[in-house]
Each structure stands twice: as structure tokens, then as C-alpha cells.
Structure 1
């Protein structure tokens, strides 16, 4: 018989989860500067926790690729590395293509129709939405599309990848024509509804592809926003 966790253990898990989410948000948005060493004492005081849950959260973020750890030196904010971001885009493309092939066979018609309604509701016009809000809508679309593959592990990986490229995508979103993006989204879903694997894969690959030079350009702009608070505030 499995023993129930004590209230103390549950409370400890809750603290670690809270600290993890707070630190993850800070790492994703580069509130820590690229390459900056994290001061664990200051962080523990700022977040109102002891070193133990803080270290658990930091180790988890290191394992998931949001921070870097150097033995004897500590935890560091990851650099904005163009080749790493490019690799993550390639990973994203590969799992999304694989998942849509599964979705062709597994997706329910009602789930496909619901995703089409989501596209209609969010519309092709960005309106007054910020880049942060537009990226959130885009991530929601792709995660709902992948969910139709009924593969929870693929979805878990996609969410990790999305978070790790999110800062660059906030920059890149300003260069994207939302009407074209939404048209590609619709084409993928309509191909899925028709169970046309070739059409789905063709559009999805083109939709996700990013050249290294475009990523490098977005990163240069990202560095400017990180080190120029006024520019960063205007972007948000």
C-alpha cells in the first residue's frame, strides 16, 4: 500500500514548485543577464525561501536547459546562443511533424473543429496584442495541435522547447506577418481535417523553419533589449 505524503512533504513540494515557476519566468525573460552568475543567497532572500527548495528548483531548471551549472562556481543564466536556438527550432520542427503524422490517424473531428474555431476567434489581425500575447496564442495553437497526437511525451518536450525559445520568439514576432501565419495555421488544420498528411507536413515544415541568420538577427536585437531597459520596456 502506497503511503500518503505528509503535510510537511506536500508543503515542501509546493514551495519548490512555486520557486521553480518564479525562477523559470525570470530565466525565460532574461531578467538574469546572459552568462550572469546567480547569487543563491540574494535569490533565497528575494523569494522568501531557504536554500534547500531554492537549490532543488535551480537543479531542475539546469536539467531542463534554462540555466547552466558549473561545478565549484554555481548556477549561471544561459547565453543567447544562435546555434542553440537553431537546434531547438530543428527539434521543434521534427517533433511537430512527427506528431501531426500521428494526429492524422488519431485526431477526433470535434477537436479539429474546435481548433478551427480557436483560429476564427483569435483572428488574423494582431489588433492591440503585444508580442508576448501573440506568442502565447501561437504556442497555444501548436500545443493544441500536438495534443491531438495523443502523445503526452511529445507535448512535454514541445512545451520545454517553446519556453526555451520564447524570448527570441518575442523579438521575432515583430517581423512576422500574422495574416500569413494564421493562413498557414488554417491550412495545417484543414489538411488534418481532410486527413491529408502530405499537405499538413509540407505547410508545417515551412511554417516552423527559421534560418540561422534570422535567429542571429533576433538575438542581436534581444541583447539590445536586455541591456537597454528603456528599449525593453517599450517592447513589452
Structure 2
């Protein structure tokens, strides 16, 4: 296996810290501090940040340096709308092309989610839920769709990492996943696409409602503030 380049390593590490909210929206990203933290020169750090800017995870206001990009509720709704369009298409295609191996993966994920939820491992529940959707997108056989969908899942993961999801919502989502798997096993594209659309619309409504009901602190936490530098 080819060893990842310094730019690739920097990209993956910075992205991971953003997605897991170790680097919060509004945080200024200093090249020298990131280079020291990651043990490399500033050149791969700069290249990694340029790539993350293209993916809209960081931004350069007035080209004065990089900051972690904050999201407005409208942007969050836009992300979900795009996700719905993408994943409904992926689910429909997956219903025609999914393999027994893929279905077994989905069943394994479905068995593990309630176990992890009972153990209080919320982050693992979220990771498994993201994996569930990724398996379906990959099963569509459309590589561009799957890659674009994966980037959207990473943006969604950021929201899920600020404790917006309740235990009841996770239980409901797991039940909805089960109905999707059942329709996939029956190779029913129309049913699968309908169920996926309903599932994601409910998820969008839940997230947006939760955001609208948060206090000023969490609103700032999501939409951006000056959290210092790294």
C-alpha cells in the first residue's frame, strides 16, 4: 500500500479534528501552529487547507487566513436537501444492484447499533449509522455519487457531534433503517427510494427544529465565533 503523502496526512488529520469538533467553527487556523502540532512543515499544511477550503470545511474571509467554516441554518437545510436528492437516487440504484455481501453488511450494522446504544456509546452509534448510508451509496455502483455523498456525510457528522440527537431519535432512525434493508432485500427500487426520502426528511426536520430551539451559546457554537487559534 502506498504511504500517504504529508499533504494527505495533514488533510485527514485536520478534517478529522473539524468533523469531531476539536476545531470548532470560527477557529483561526495558523500554519505555524498546525505545522508544529502535526510535526511537519507549513507547505503540506497550506496544501491541505486549500483542499479543505474547496470542500467548504474551512474558509478565508477576505483572504486573511484560514478559519473553520461556520454553518447557518439555511446552509444546513441546503446540505440536507442535497443529501436527500443524492441518497434517494443512490438507494433506488442500490435496490437494483446491491449484493448479498452488502446486505449482510447492513444487517451487521443494524445488529450492532442497539448494542452500542445500550452501552451508551453514542459516537459509535453515529459512526455505524453513517456507515449504513455509505454502504448503500457504494452499492449504487455510481462512484461519483458515492464520493459526493461521503463528503456530505462528513458535514452531517459535524452536526451530530454537538449532541443534537436524542436517544429516541436514534431509536427511530434505527427502525427506519430496518425497513430500508427489508425493501432492499426485496429489490424494490420504488419502495426503497420512498423510504429513504421519508427517513432523510424526518432527519432534516429533527435537526433544524433542534437547532432553532437551542440557546444562544449553542447557536454561536454552530454558526461561528472567535474561538482563538491553532
How does the TM-score come out when normalised to structure 2?
A: 0.82
Match of 1:174 among 166, 173, 179: 166
Deviations 1:42-100 (A, max 9, x none): 22122221111110011011111110123540111111321111111111111110011
Does the CA contact (< 8 Å) of 1:124 and 1:182 recur in 2? no
Does the CA contact (< 8 Å) of 1:16 and 1:54 recur in 2? yes
What residue ranges of structure 1 are gaps of 5+ in the alignment?
1-9, 227-236
Counterpart of 1:157 in structure 2 is 148
Please state if 1:214 is matched with 2:206: no
SS at match of 1:61: helix
Match of 2:123 among 132, 145, 148: 132
Does the CA contact (< 8 Å) of 2:180 and 2:196 recur in 1? yes
Does the CA contact (< 8 Å) of 1:168 and 1:218 recur in 2? no
Match of 2:180 among 183, 188, 196: 188
Match of 2:81 among 86, 90, 93: 90
Counterpart of 1:50 in structure 2 is 41
Does the CA contact (< 8 Å) of 1:85 and 1:215 recur in 2? no
Q: State the Cα distance separating 1:33 from its structure 2 match.
A: 3.6
RCO higher in structure (CA 8 A, sep ≥6): 2
Q: How many Å separate the matches in 1 of 2:22 and 2:68?
A: 9
Does the CA contact (< 8 Å) of 1:40 and 1:51 recur in 2? yes
Q: State the Cα distance separating 1:199 from its structure 2 match.
A: 2.0
Counterpart of 1:200 in structure 2 is 192
Q: State the Cα distance separating 1:153 from its structure 2 match.
A: 1.4
What residue ranges of structure 2 are gaps of 5+ in the alignment?
223-230
What's the Cα RMSD here?
2.5
Shift in alpha-carbon separation, 1:52–1:110, aligned structure 2, 3 A: closer
How does the TM-score come out when normalised to structure 1?
A: 0.81
Does the CA contact (< 8 Å) of 1:168 and 1:219 recur in 2? no
